[in-house]
Structure 1
Amino acid sequence: MGKTIWRVGTTYLPVQNVEESTIWYETKLGAIVTYKDTEKAIINFANQSFFLVKASENTTANFIDGAGNTHFSLTFEVDGVDALEDLHRQFNKNDIKVGAIEDRGHPGKNFIFYDPSGNIFDVWSELSPDFKNRYTI
């Protein structure tokens, strides 16, 4: 097969209020806003573009897993447990709703956090080896 998908370019996130969400991502996560209107915003952070798209009430990127639990659809990575713990403290200080730091039985540790629209995201303490190699971290 000569063709391949190289990367995820954009992730679309449903939000209830584009303006509020854009400000939250910019101030809480350090996102760079490159476009915004009443229906969507384009923000960049974590080496990716995200479209914040105005969605109907109670729509999130979350899903229900096989055990009936609400599950996140996206995991962000940091470089090590110390970085994870520092980010967790920073999120708490910045009034971001976060879960406890967890040991899930695989390498590293994780915690979840929420955006103002109820989207749940995961943070993992292990940067992928491919990312480290490509960016010489």
Structure 2
Amino acid sequence: MIKRIECAYVPVSNVEKSAAWYEQVLGMRLRSPLEPGRGAIMEMEEGGWLFLLPSPDMTPLTFSTTAWAEDGQDFEMFPLCFETDKIHNLHASLKEAGAWVEQELRNEGSCGLQLNFKDPDGNKYQAWQQPANPAE
């Protein structure tokens, strides 16, 4: 019944600066002109949207979980994971922009290459790229 996620809503402290960052660093496209006091719609390569919305209290998209840490410790989780075919370029773009990003890509075998990163407001994401040979 539910086919896919069409869009997600992301809190940001400054819509204009965030829209520029998502364009320059992540390669998303601004869907329509910015309107003062409103959000920005950022479009991904294959059509999914992120709505960047002004957030006065700026609580980043992230939460703690013990499900992902081998030792049962808290892990700062990302609520969104992006797919890419250019994970090496993305990693380099994030580093060049000074973003918080894992130093090295992780090869998770059949789950592909992965990395975690944050935007300038601390919204945490994961990006992954399918393995060259899905049977790996």
What TM-score does the superposition give when structure 1 sets the normalisation length? 0.75
Correspondence 1:91 to 2:102:
no
| 1:57 aligned residue | 57
1:52 offset after TM fit, Å?
Answer: 0.4
Contact 2:40/2:51 (8 A) holds in 1: yes
Structure 2 gap ranges (5+):
67-72, 132-136
Q: Distance in 2 between matches of 1:84 and 1:61?
A: 22
**Is there any run of 5+ residues in structure 1 with no aligned partner, and where?**
128-137
**Larger relative helix fraction:** 1
- What does 1:1-137 align with in structure 2 at a 5 Å threshold? 4-33=1-30, 34-37=32-35, 38-46=37-45, 47-66=47-66, 67-79=73-85, 83-99=86-102, 100-104=104-108, 107-126=111-130
Q: CA RMSD in A?
A: 2.1
2:20 aligned partner, one-letter code: I
* Deviation (angstroms), 1:19: 1.3
Q: Residues 86-114 of structure 1, C-alpha deviation per residue, up to 9 Å, x if partnerless? A: 33123323433311322457532211111
Equivalent residue of 2:106, what SS?
coil
What is the DSSP-based 3-state SS (H/G/I as helix, E as strand, rest coil) of the residue aligned with 1:12? Answer: strand
Q: What is the match of residue 70 of structure 2?
A: none
Between the two proteins, the alignment pairs up a number of residues equal to 121
Q: Deviations over 1:60-98 (max 9, x none)?
A: 11111134221111111224xxx4233312332343331
What is the aligned partner in structure 1 of residue 134 from structure 2? none
> Does the C-alpha gap of structure 1 residues 40 and 103 become closer, same or farther in structure 2, counting only changes over 3 Å?
same
With normalisation by structure 2, the TM-score equals 0.75
Instruction: Measure the CA separation in 2 of the matches of 1:10 and 1:114.
Output: 18
Change (3 A) 1:107 1:31: closer
